[in-house]
Structure 1
Amino acid sequence: MLVVRYVIARVLHTLPVLIGVTLFTFLAIQFVPGDPIRIMTRGHVSDTEVAAIYE
């Protein structure tokens, strides 16, 4: 019985951390300046190719 309570407590303590990390990652991706495609390709592709990658 103690093991079950321990596991439940650990899971309940892990959930806020998981939600916090997910939220932080989402916000970092949304608000960091720059276009990820341009950064990955180092600007060596045309606007048409970038549009094709987004599709």
Structure 2
Amino acid sequence: MPIEYAVSLQVAELTRLSQTLMLVPDLHWLVVEDAVSPTRRVLSFLDSCSVPHTYLLGKR
């Protein structure tokens, strides 16, 4: 699967999950990506997301 396609699916899944998490009071979302450097599209999504979150990276 091409990387750009995989990231598109990842952002779509994050969008659906964030919409559900917005319904939970007093929640802090930990987003952990198995990458060496941040993904721009994920960072952009999280910047626009209204769910309080922390974005972490973990090497494979």
State the TM-score, normalizing by the size of structure 1: 0.40
Tell me which structure has the larger Cα radius of gyration: 1
Structure with greater helix share of residues: 1
Structure with greater strand share of residues: 2
Instruction: State the structure with bigger RCO (CA 8 A, min sep 6), 1 or 2.
Output: 2
